[in-house]
């Protein structure tokens, strides 16, 4: 707990929390949201295709989206760590933070598995597996986003 309190009172955290500048906390929050958009958005597109939406669209070209997904994920993760440093004791005490992190970890694991299905082109050979992974991935992203938003009210 002492480390978390030190982290919150560090000069950078204090500046981020108290500065009226748009380059402080609002910029970090914007980067977090942008990262989420570029992570969850393309993931939803790939998963919807695996679920059968847009059957005329070939799966192989969708493999290119995973580079964007990973860039978005790391942007969101880095900005999320910065936001955590600002208010670590409160966020880590919030049960929804744990729920959010579990959903994020499971979402990332599912994203890796979905990529294997897309990259190997096994969606036609194993349609049930691809659909189950896609549905689970969508559910976990919705859970992570909802838990993150609800943290402010809990």
- Hey, CA dihedral for 45, 49, 50, 52, is it positive or negative? positive
Q: How many domains does the chain have?
A: 1
pTM: 0.89
Cα dihedral sign, 134-113-102-100:
negative
State the CB neighbour count (10 A cutoff) for residue 94: 16
Nearest to 116 by CA among 74, 71, 62, 35: 62
* pLDDT of the residue at 57: 87
| Sign of the alpha-carbon dihedral angle for 38, 134, 77, 67 | negative
Which residues of the chain, if any, have pLDDT below 50? none
What are the tokens at 37?
Answer: 């958009």
Q: Which tokens is 133 given? A: 């992974």
* Tokens 């096994």 sit on residue: 122
Segments forming the whole domain that contains residue 70:
2-153
């Amino acid at each position: 707990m002492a480390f978390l309190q030190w982290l919150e009172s560090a000069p950078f955290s204090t500046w981020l929390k108290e500065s009226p500048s748009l380059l402080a906390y609002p910029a970090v929050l914007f980067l977090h949201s942008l990262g989420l958009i570029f992570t969850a958005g393309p993931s939803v597109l790939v998963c919807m295709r695996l679920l059968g939406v847009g059957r005329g669209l070939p799966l192989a070209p969708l493999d290119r989206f995973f580079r964007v997904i990973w860039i978005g994920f790391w942007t969101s993760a880095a900005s999320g760590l910065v936001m955590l440093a600002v208010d670590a004791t409160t966020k880590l005490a919030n049960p929804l933070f744990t729920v959010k992190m579990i959903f994020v970890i499971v979402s990332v694991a599912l994203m890796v598995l979905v990529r294997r299905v897309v990259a190997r082109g096994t969606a036609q050979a194993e349609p049930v597996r691809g659909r189950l992974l896609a549905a689970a991935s969508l559910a976990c992203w919705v859970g992570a986003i909802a838990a993150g938003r609800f943290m402010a009210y809990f």
